[in-house]
Amino acid sequence: MRHTLAKTISTPSSADPAMYLSILSLLPIFLSLRLVSCHASIWHPAMFGFNVTQQTFDYDNRPVVPLVHLPYSEWWFHGHLGYPPHPQDVFQLPAGGVATLQIACNKGATTYYASSEGGNIQDPNNPNDVCPGSPPAEYHTTGISDVKGCGLGIAYKDNVNDVQPADFTIFTVNHTCVWDRYTDFSVPKNMPPCPNNLCICAFFWIHSPDSGSEQMYMNGFQCTITNSTSTVGLDTPKVARRCGADPANGKPNAVPGNCTYGAKQPLYWFQAENNTMFEGTYSPPFYNDLYGFADGAQDDIFQNYYSSIPVPGPNQTELPIVSSSGSSSSASPASNGNTTTTPTSASSVNVVSPSAAPSSSSGASDGSTTPTLSALTAPVNIISASAAPSSSPNSQWLVSFCVISRRR
């Protein structure tokens, strides 16, 4: 559309000035449509498809392009398994520390601009700007209250070809992703070492339906855990359940008993096959309280963290009991102004005010119980999404956005 329009404008008929003016009058509309077609990706040499360009495939399959109604072979690792990183390019995740990502609307707005097609477009006067010169619609949000979070998943396998969707566990989440260019991801302190010092990780993101079409994002990368002092493995991850407050669908109260506790899989949604989430077009799943994902390190993903977990359901009133080992292994939660500690009949849990989002899931809350979401039994590590990047040379990641939709 963009190329066709440019050609039409450059060769107008002198005998038909009205047509020329009509085309010009439509230009702002085309530009506005272009602004809301933006996408995101992690950028780092450790990722699969780091050097994939618009010309690599017979369709646009750059890492920034969203995944929508695709067969498994194309959405899994973004179809980039044939474009692996160098074996020595491995991103380090410090146990108990923070990994920082840069988020930008274009690769040229990141520190990897040297390999971008348009060169350096970073704004030196506003280094925390996600998309220099563009509105938040470029990164699928109407404002800070409309961001829905993103997460990093990890699979404890050193061969990417052995990794299956159910192997990934979401180990860290940032609720304000995507908003600031510099975004922190807290790593649980009890992460065990990777086999042969190599794990497979991936970035996952689903944005708000208020600013953009329905789509999922996944980008895999090689990773390893550093500073590990734990030998306790991750528990088997389960499918997350919709359990937070959902006022847009007439469910103003959270139902903690309907949450999935402990290790959770990524949200595989809106593809042609191998989905695990089946929410409707305008009710996407999110990496936030709506699905029991705490902000920060997911400290309850380890084996034996809970001594008992009731069967979840919309009418379940019992809550999991944290084991003594789980309690002693968790750091004290930081205060963010909306976290309190509330006793239950079983144990004390951290109650976090849930975020609202649309829902069509049959497992969503029915509004019959307490309005607080106590799915987040693990202490919450609050982090600053606008913090400066880590001093570690391996701890900066980049999320880039584009303005061209996938076309087949």
Q: Name the most confidently modeled range: 4-13, 31-40, 175-184, 252-261.
A: 252-261
- Per-residue pLDDT band for 180 (boundaries 50, 70, 90) equals confident
Mind listing the pLDDT tens digit for each residue in 84-100? Answer: 999 999 999 999 999 98
HEC per residue, the chain: CHHHHHHHHHCCCCCCHHHHHHHHHHHHHHHHHHHCCCCCEEECCCECCCCCCCCCCCCCCCCCCCECCCCHHHHHHHHCCCCCCCCCCCEEEECCCEEEEEEECCHHHCCCHHHCCCCCCCCCCCCCCCCCCCCHHHHCCCCHHHCCCEEEEEECCCCHHHCCHHHCEEEEEECCCCCCCEEEEECCCCCCCCHHHCEEEEEEECCCCCCCCCCEEEEEEEEEEECCCCCCCECCCECCCCCCCEHHHCECCCCHHHCCCCCECCCCECCCCCCCECCCCCCCCCCCHHHCCCCEECCCCECCCEEECCCCCCCCCCCCEECHHHHHHCCCCCCCCCEEEEECCCCEEEEECCCCCCCCCCCCCCCCCCCCECCCCCCCCCCCCCCCCCCCCCCEEEEECCCCCCCC
**342-361 pLDDT tens trace:** 333 333 233 333 333 333 33
206-224 average pLDDT score:
85
Entry pTM: 0.73
